[in-house]
Structure 1
Amino acid sequence: MTHSATPYSAEDDALETLKKSFNRMTMYVVTLDTSALDPDPVRLFSHLTWLKEQEAGGVIAFTGLRFDGGNRPVDGMTVLRAGSFQEAERIVASDPFVAAGATATIHRWDVAAGAMSFSVRLSDRSVGVI
């Protein structure tokens, strides 16, 4: 009986080297469905305040509304910095919308590549993303 081993090639080394070259950063993507909630300006104010607090604390990398093919918002999406899935769950549970019954879905996201550039103007203390 002969066993056929997978042939080894230089491409295998190249692929492994390429895969290792990506510095993965784990983040958590949260989608938030608020369609079951009654419109409540006080709750919206609390949610927006919570978002600003999380952003100021370095927890939120990005947040905003997602839209369908037109101009109708379908849900909210937030990218969180958290040390674990459980920590992401604790953060999300503290959102006033979630506490009121909004449905949050959390996915771990291993970011492999991307780039951002910033512009800083010292004269007027402005910062922009390019």
Structure 2
Amino acid sequence: MSMQKYKKVGKNVIRTGDEYWHYYVRTSRKEPNITGKYLFFSEYKEELDKIAIDELENNGFFHAKINTDEHKKGTDYVLCLYDTDDSRKLELAEKYKENGAVKYRYWKTDADTIQGSYSEQFLKTLTPKEREEWTRNKTI
């Protein structure tokens, strides 16, 4: 798996990626101690791209990622907007509640991801084999 070259997508935001994810990074901040992510789902990758760039550029977030076309599960793309804690979950819910193109799913800890804890809404889009793979404990 090789990383793509960096592309500047905002004044202080770059994007790179691999076959699975498009990664967004704020370049002018020191990386904080990330413990989880806010999740956004949409059929429209461009909408998630705009949110990722705006939140990193203007609202204090450091890192985000969106899955690639080839690794989309079901009809939606997912934006993972990483942060140190869940203290901004209500702020983000309020901010994006009128955006009909985006479904905001609040906060998920990295520990939940490592333990294979996923929502039933996501898991029901997978085949039994995929479901087993996704819910298996992961190692870092």
TM-score (norm. length: structure 2): 0.37
Kindly indicate which of the two structures has a greater share of residues assigned to strand: 1
TM-score (norm. length: structure 1): 0.39
